[in-house]
Structure 1
Amino acid sequence: MGQAREVMDRLTEALTTKPDVRVIAELFAEDAVAVTPEAGELHGRDEIVEYWRQMTDAIPEATYEPLHQYEIGSTAIDEGFFGGRNTGPLQLPDGQTMPATHKEVRIRGVDVATVVDGRIVSYRLYFDQMQFLEQLGLLPDFASA
């Protein structure tokens, strides 16, 4: 196992089985860039850590079920299912917060992390936002409309 794989595995653990924003902060370079479906492009460790803090607050007992794990040079790629119950407030893109829905989510996603000197310098997360919102009960019921 190479360095990229080790760092990605530590990040997954710090987001799910052992949530810890301090570990998350240690894993990202100070000038890292992350791209997410709902928050767009995040610049710097502080913005990235805040993004993940909000997610771990919203779904504090998250799980991750890996489907595929790859490492190519300094890049690790994971595909799998993120799941859990929304028991904490959800941060909305406009800065407002929404109370917990207490609904279960299970979404398939892909993470891509490039690691230099033991820290993530580039991170990309892909998942279906509509599926996430639907599972939280935050989309209108189009079937009854």
Structure 2
Amino acid sequence: MGQAREVMDRLTEALTGKPDLEVIGELFAEDAVAVTPDGGELHGRDSIVEYWRQMTDAVPEGSFESLHAYEIGNTAIDEGFFGGRNSGPIHMPDGESLPATQKDVRIRGVDLATVGEDGRIVDYRLYFDELDFLGQLGLLPEEESGEPS
């Protein structure tokens, strides 16, 4: 196992169970860039830690079930299911927040972390189906039944 895999595993551990934002911050370079489906492109460690704070507030005792774990050079790739109960506020991209739904979620996702020479993540990509996530929380509008117009 190489450095990228070790860093990704530490990140997963810091994000699940009882989240550890201090460790999460230590794992990202000061000028890291992250891309997420719901937060867009985030620049800098502080923005990335804030994103994870909001996500772990929304699902504070999340778990990760790994399906595939890879390491290619200085990049680690994980595919799996994130699950947990939405027992905290959901922060929206526009700055508003929604109250907790108390519903369980289980969403499939993929994340990639590229690690620099200093052992910190410099580039991070997270992919998951945001509509599936919101649908499981019951936050999508009900579709009207009937004939298409």
Q: TM-score, normalised by structure 1?
A: 0.97
Residue type of the alignment partner of 1:8: M
Letter in 1 for 2:73: G
Measured in 2, the distance between the counterparts of 1:15 and 1:49 equals 11
The one-letter amino acid of 1:94's match is D
Q: Alpha-carbon deviation of 1:17?
A: 2.4
User: Where does 1:84-103 land on structure 2 (aligned, <5 Å)?
Assistant: 84-103=84-103
Alpha-carbon RMSD: 1.0
Deviation at 1:142, TM superposition (A): 1.1
> What displacement does 1:45 show?
0.1
Q: Report the AA paired with residue 84 of structure 2.
A: G
In structure 2, how many angstroms separate the alpha carbons of the residues matched to 1:18 and 1:6?
Answer: 19
Counterparts of 1:1-145 in structure 2, within 5 Å, are 1-116=1-116, 117-142=118-143, 144=145
Question: Any unmatched runs of 5+ in structure 1?
Answer: none
CA distance in 2, matches of 1:38, 1:79: 18
User: How far 1:115 moved relative to its partner?
Assistant: 0.3
Rg: which structure is higher? 2
SS at structure 2 position matched to 1:9: helix
**Structure 1 residue 140: Cα displacement:** 1.3
Q: CA deviation at 1:18?
A: 3.6
Q: Give the letter for the 1:52 counterpart.
A: W
Structure 2 unaligned regions, length at least 5: none
* Equivalent position amino acid for 1:57 in 2: D
Q: Deviations over 1:93-124 (max 9, x none)?
A: 11011110100000000000000121000000
Deviations, residues 35-75 of structure 1 (Å, cap 9, x unaligned): 00011000000000000000111100100000000000100
CA distance in structure 1 between the partners assigned to 2:18 and 2:76 by the alignment? 20
Residues 17 and 60 in structure 2, CA contact (< 8 A), matched pair in contact too = no
Aligned mates of 2:7, 2:18 — CA distance in 1: 15
Q: How many residues were matched structurally?
A: 145
SS at match of 2:42: strand
Task: Report how far residue 141 of structure 1 moved.
Answer: 1.8
Q: TM-score, normalised by structure 2?
A: 0.95
